[in-house]
């Protein structure tokens, strides 16, 4: 039986995109530099504390998102494994918690599309293991938080 993550299905997908006023190589570099990631990645109000950053195919990025969430101090553990990195084009990763059997782990693909005017469209595609999990993360705020992350990238690049 095929792993459900390996079979793409629109009813398990979330797609977010943003046009950035920067060239593709600069935008891609912001995704592959651990110091940069820690400055712009994640929803508003949460800071990134990197524990390990080996950004290459087969490498991992382990980090915590830390801050006040819903009125309480929170720490969210994250574990990303990089499956494919094609410079200035695409990053594919498995995204979840440190639990290697995390049933909520999802596949995320980030693409970088150069525009003729020197700008770049960044597209995030999340593929969740089930339709129900996709609906749950949408209900939790995944779309809004993903858009905040892309906004944070834009602000960082502009700075």
Residues in the chain: 159
Give the pLDDT confidence score for residue 134 in this predicted structure. Answer: 96
pTM of the prediction? 0.90
Low-confidence spans in the chain with pLDDT less than 50: 1-2, 4-5
pLDDT of residue 100: 85
CB 111, CB 90: distance < 8 Å: yes
Q: Where in the chain are the domains?
A: 4-158
Q: What is the token pair recorded at 28?
A: 């891609």
Is 4-158 assigned to CATH 3.30.300.350? no
Are 85 and 91 a contacting pair, CB within 8 Å?
A: yes
Task: Say what the pLDDT of residue 88 is.
Answer: 98
Sequence-distant (6+) residues with CB within 8 A of 119 are 19, 20, 21, 22, 23
Amino acid 70: pLDDT: 75
């Amino acid at each position: 039986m095929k792993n459900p993550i390996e079979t793409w299905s629109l009813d398990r997908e979330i797609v977010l995109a943003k046009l950035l006023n920067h060239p593709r190589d600069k935008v891609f570099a912001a995704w592959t530099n651990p110091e940069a990631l820690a400055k712009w990645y994640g929803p508003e109000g949460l800071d990134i504390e990197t524990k390990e950053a080996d950004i290459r195919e087969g490498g991992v990025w382990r980090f915590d998102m830390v801050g006040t969430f819903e009125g309480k101090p929170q720490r969210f553990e994250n574990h990303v494994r990089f499956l494919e990195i094609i410079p200035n084009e695409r990053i594919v990763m498995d995204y979840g918690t440190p639990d290697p059997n995390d049933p909520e782990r999802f596949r995320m693909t980030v693409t970088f599309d150069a525009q003729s005017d020197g700008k770049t469209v960044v597209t995030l595609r999340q593929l969740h293991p089930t339709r129900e999990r996709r609906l749950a993360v949408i209900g939790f705020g995944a779309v809004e938080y993903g858009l905040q992350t892309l906004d944070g990238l834009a602000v960082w690049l502009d700075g």
